[in-house]
Amino acid sequence: DIVMTQTPLSLSVTPGQPASISCKSSQSLLHSDGKTYLYWYLQKPGQPPQLLIYEVSNRFSGVPDRFSGSGSGTDFTLKISRVEAEDVGVYYCMQSIQLPYTFGQGTKLEIK
Amino acid sequence: QVQLQESGPGLVKPSGTLSLTCAVSGGSISSSNWWSWIRQPPGKGLEWIGEIYHSGSTNYNPSLKSRVTISVDKSKNQFSLKLSSVTAADTAVYYCARNSDYDAFDIWGQGTMVTVSS
């Protein structure tokens, strides 16, 4: 299985300040079709996860532009340019280049 | 707008079989999507269980493969999960989800909590 490792596991951010989460995979997520199968989700308290970013850097429908994704190969980053109160929750990265799909451990974002 | 809704018993006895159904509304299960089950133990992360296509083709997580069966009922527009020989370690919120064209899970059910206990 591909192991997804996120850092940090928690962070506390002042509203309006930026935040960054790292995700590293144990194998390259770059497929021969040219796509990189790395995704980001946010699970708000009491809710199912919601898709934020697909294929490293593409914002899903309705996702605010303060969220951005970057990276390549095995190293990826999710950035929030200005954290808002509604961004609290647990962020997960996920790979789908190889079955079984696997998720990172999650990064809990709290507001100071 | 496609919506998913899980249903099934919230309590299962150890060594028994967990059975859940995911009803698809607002769209057809016979669309060009795979449909997945994912679980989350209390306070823990996400684990993909397996997926099914409307043709009946399936893929399972090897860690659960010997105990999992996912099936589809096109006439009812739903798919189901069976997990046998359950233990307390199978206690979790179980989600059904749609695999999008982006190979990610773009639509999720609200989840259903299943507790394994005598």
Q: Which residue of A has its CA nearest to B99?
A: A96
Average pLDDT, chain A: 97
Name the β-bridge partners of B12.
B116
Dist CA B103 CA B69 (whole Å):
22
User: What pLDDT sits at residue B103?
Assistant: 84
Say yes or no for a CB contact (<8 Å) between B108 and A50.
yes
pLDDT in tens, A30-58: 999 999 999 999 999 999 999 999 999 99
Provide, as residue numbers in chain B, all residues whose Cβ is less than 8 Å from the Cβ of A96.
103-104
A vs B: CB pairs below 8 A: 53
The DSSP bridge pattern shows strands B78-83 and B18-25 to be antiparallel
Provide, as residue numbers in chain B, all residues whose Cβ is less than 8 Å from the Cβ of A48.
95, 97, 108-111
Amino acid occupying residue B36: S
User: What pLDDT sits at residue B32?
Assistant: 87
Say yes or no for a CB contact (<8 Å) between B109 and A96.
no
**B58 and chain A: CB distance < 8 Å anywhere?**
no
